[in-house]
Structures are given as C-alpha cells and as structure tokens.
Amino acid sequence: MTEATARDLDRLREAIELAENCPPSATFRVGAVITDAEGAVLATGYSGETDPHDHAEEAAIAKLPPGDPRLPAATIYSSLEPCSTRASRPLTCTRLILDAGIGRIVFAWREPALFVDCVGAETLSAAGRTVIEVPALADLVRRTNSHLPGVAPGQDS
C-alpha cells in the first residue's frame, strides 16, 4: 500500500476542516478537496454545501467540467471513505469518482456501519485506483461527527 506524503496529510487536514462548514445534519459531516498532479486545488466541497443531500465528494466533483483532462492524475482527499451505497441519490461517491476518472483517493476514516456497509475503498482499489487510508487523522473526523450515536474520538470503527 502506498504511504501518504506530507502534502497528502496537509490536503487531508484541509478536507477535514471543510467538514466544519457542513450544516447541521443527522448524517456524516464530510469535506473533500480535489487537487491536480502538482497539488494545486481544483475544487472543494462539503456535505450539504448546496443541497441537504450533497455529499462532499459529489459537491467537489460537480464544480469541475466533465471529462476534465487533469482528473486522471488528480487526487481527491475526503475526510471519510467515499460512499458505496446511498439512499439520497442514484450515484454513490465511489461511482462519481470512477466516472470522473480521478486516479488517486486519500481518506482519513473508514465509514463505520451506522447507516450502510461501505466498501468504497475496496471498490476503488479493485478498479485500479490508488487508495490511501490515513487512520492517524481519523480522530479528527470522529470529532467532527461526534453528533452521531456511537461516534466519539478515540474509538476504533
């Protein structure tokens, strides 16, 4: 498995901070940052940014033109593992990432089985994408989501 770089850690912290912008919700508060191959930010998003049903990755991807030639070399940073099952919209964040052609995914916390059984990381990896999990930052994401039952910093999920 590929290790996270110092740039990855910085951008992932930015995604985690973006989650603080999420409106109050009964679901996960998530932030996402998409960068080009050199690390320049292409787009950002957070859950509920323009619509209560928005997921962070979805909000960020929607800000980029379809077929953007920078996306195969891009990285999407998400505070939470991209969803692989979803009730609010027909396309999951995993599917949106695959369809956008984003080649690299870095996230901090695997989605706990509070709402669905998520296999986003496995699905993306099986599709040939580079997937990097950074559990050292998961506590920051749990803190942002401590409004959910059973979620608290310091817990393993």
Catalytic residue positions?
A: 57
Residues with Cβ < 8 Å from 5, sequence gap 6 or more? none
- List, edge to edge, every strand of the sheet that includes 31-35: 41-46, 31-35, 75-80, 104-109, 130-133
Q: In 42-91, which residue ranges form alpha helices assigned H by DSSP? A: 56-62
CB 33 within 8 A of CB 11: yes
Tokens 């409004």, located at residue? 147
Which conformational region is residue 42 in: left (phi greater than 0), alpha (psi within -120 to 50 degrees), or beta?
alpha
Give the span between the Cα atoms of 20 and 41, in whole angstroms.
19
